Amino acid sequence: MITTSYLVAGMTCGHCVASVTEEISEIPGVTGVTVVLDTGLVTVTSDEPLDDAAVGAAVVEAGYALS
């Protein structure tokens, strides 16, 4: 299992957390997503290394951006 952390800018509420979690969870190989709203820290666990561009695209799809 691989754990990778990202910073996401612009999240302000529980709905933001849910949107980011949902989009990142759809990336093949992702097994878990944990979001800390106060810091913008998103921790992703996966079966194999993730393509940072895919994670970035998922965050953009949710309406936010990687910091």
- The H or E element spanning position 56 is helix 52-62
pTM recorded for the entire structure: 0.94
Answer for the pair 34, 43: CB distance below 8 angstroms, yes or no.
yes
Q: What is the CATH number of the domain that holds 56?
A: 3.30.70.100
7, 43 Cβ separation under 8 angstroms: no
Number of domains in the chain: 1
Are the beta carbons of 64 and 8 closer than 8 angstroms? Answer: yes
Q: How far is CA 30 from CA 12, 43, 47, in A?
A: 24, 11, 7
Domain of residue 58: give its range: 2-66
- Tell me: the pLDDT tens digits for 23-59? 999 999 999 999 999 999 999 999 999 999 999 999 9
